[in-house]
Amino acid sequence: AQSVSQHNHHVILSEAASLELGCNYSYGGTVNLFWYVQYPGQHLQLLLKYFSGDPLVKGIKGFEAEFIKSKFSFNLRKPSVQWSDTAEYFCAVNNDYKLSFGAGTTVTVRA
């Protein structure tokens, strides 16, 4: 079955620590990949997306993600997190003009 897997359900870290969230998908063929973020009490917002070209994608707020086709992965990274990065993060794949989402990772950053 086609799916999107996020490796971590809940990540807790301190400010200035580095963050990496894993995302794997099982679709074949061409896919478009996204990371969305949902801050407490707010709607889902796009962090970054990959369609083609450079597999290292930079997004807003210092986030980046790397597409590794051979591993069917699209991991999200941030070198130094801030308390304001506390949020839920969703990986998503556009396949056949529909978005499929991973289960989400809750990130808690402690001051």
* Structure-token pair, residue 81: 């997190």
At its nearest, how many Å lie between other proteins and the CB of residue 6? Answer: 8
**Does 46 participate in binding other proteins (rule CB under 8 A)?**
yes
Q: Say how far apart CA 74 and CA 24 lie, in whole Å.
A: 6
At its nearest, how many Å lie between other proteins and the CB of residue 101? Answer: 4
Q: Which residues contact 96 (CB under 8 A, 6 or more apart)?
A: none
Nearer to other proteins, 3 or 82 (CB): 3
Total residues at interface with other proteins (CB under 8 A): 20
**Distances from the Cα of 106 to the Cαs of 1, 5, 16, 53, 85, in angstroms?**
25, 14, 17, 29, 10
**Does 52 participate in binding other proteins (rule CB under 8 A)?**
no
Binding mask 77-106 for other proteins (x = CB under 8 A): -------------x---x--xxxxxxxx--
Type and span of the H or E element at 34: strand 32-38
At its nearest, how many Å lie between other proteins and the CB of residue 104? Answer: 6
**Does 32 participate in binding other proteins (rule CB under 8 A)?**
yes
